[in-house]
Amino acid sequence: MRTRRHFLAGIGGAAASLWIQPVKAAPDPRKDTIIGHGGFRYRVHKDWVPPGQGRHHPILNCHEMVQVRDGRLFMIGDHGTHQMLVFKPDGTILDSWGCVWPGGHGLTLSRENGEEFLFVTDSGLWKSGNGGYRQTGRVTKIDLTGREIFSLSHPMSVGAYEPGMNFNPTETAIAPNGDIYVVDGYGSQYVLRYDPKGRFLQRFGGKEGVPLAERLNNAHGVAVDLRSGAETATLLVTSRADHCFRRFTLEGKYLETIAVPGCMVCRPVISGQELYAGVCWSKNPELNKLTNNPSGFTVVLDAEGKVVSAPGGTEPVYEDGKLRPLTRAEPVFDHGHDVCVLENGDLVVCQWNAFQTYPIRLERLS
């Protein structure tokens, strides 16, 4: 009687090795995709939020996210009745609430005398069914339970705007002294500065009537840069349509431009010595086209303003000191909108126009 051992011996070693070699499972794109470059490489976890959460916590667009001291992650979106979502670091949704920010867009964490507050920016742009609508935006300060502390005054009410100027803010930033900076990225393209009590102080920036190299063209995001110390803090403002960040003093004097060619970057997020940003679209001059089709990724810049990694995008290459235009390389993101950097170096990426999908976590590998 011929056994399996006799059969393997009979057909030869090569064939036998094929018979006994285990078959490897096909790569799982949800778990085995690795993106990024240099010291900033990440494993993609598209299933960070456990299945079945959407029944009680629906979303439309995931706009911005921050992490508070106890580890919870707050995310603002634009769903009609679930605009604020609260996550555990493992992706479990703890709560969702909010129906007063139909254009929920910006979310900034402020720490004041040991307490934590959120500044919510409603852009005033929102959808209902297949229609889109524009109304006046607003910025509101709340505590972590959702209790409103105050809303900022409309720019026209304090003489900063004239009739007919749209106010559709997209983001805020808080200075070390508590001053509040608001960027009107979907409206009139100015930076508006208020004191800690919400009293208007000044206006600067804008798109018209300023040198081309200083203009704000879709002033989508803003951050206070403290990497060189609080005494020399500066303000980084996104000029998304110009593929760059503009640096200003806290009093509004233009200092420099940090170019990110090919990248329609959203808000600057600073963690450690790096600057992170979601790329909503890639507009590469070499391709000579801009499309609303999925073309997003993320970028990481060092303290000198050099792109050191583009997770989901092409590898950063500098020629004669200039960055070659970046573009999407991996089908991981649709339209990157915000990056939340966790304490362990992992990233959580929120997306706009991504088929109502939850944020994606990127596990830091190196």
Report pLDDT for 235: 98
In a domain, 174, yes or no: no
In a domain, 51, yes or no: yes
How many other CB atoms are there within 10 angstroms of residue 281's CB atom?
23
Q: Extract the residue ranges of the chain whose pLDDT is less than 50.
A: 1-26, 30, 288
d(CA 246, CA 224) in angstroms, rounded, equals 12
Report pLDDT for 68: 98
In a domain, 73, yes or no: no
Report pLDDT for 261: 97
In a domain, 115, yes or no: no
Phi, psi dihedral angles at 68 (to 5 degrees): -90, 175
In a domain, 281, yes or no: yes
* Residue among 167, 299, 262, 276 at smallest CA distance from 225: 276
In a domain, 355, yes or no: yes
pTM: 0.90
Cβ-based neighbours of 28, under 8 Å, separated by 6 or more:
none
Collapsed DSSP state (helix, strand, coil) of residue 54: helix
d(CA 95, CA 188) in angstroms, rounded, equals 35
Please state whether beta strands 322-323 and 318-319 pair in parallel, antiparallel, or not at all (unpaired).
Answer: antiparallel
Which residue is listed with tokens 């402020």? 110
Q: Residues 334, 351: contact at Cβ < 8 Å?
A: yes
How many other CB atoms are there within 10 angstroms of residue 84's CB atom?
21
Q: What domain range is 331 assigned to? A: 28-57+261-366
d(CA 159, CA 138) in angstroms, rounded, equals 16
d(CA 267, CA 277) in angstroms, rounded, equals 6
Structure tokens at 46: 């598209």
What amino acid is encoded at 24 in this protein?
Answer: K
Q: What is the DSSP string of 111-126?
A: EETTEEEEEEEE-SEE
Q: How many domains does the chain contain in total?
A: 1
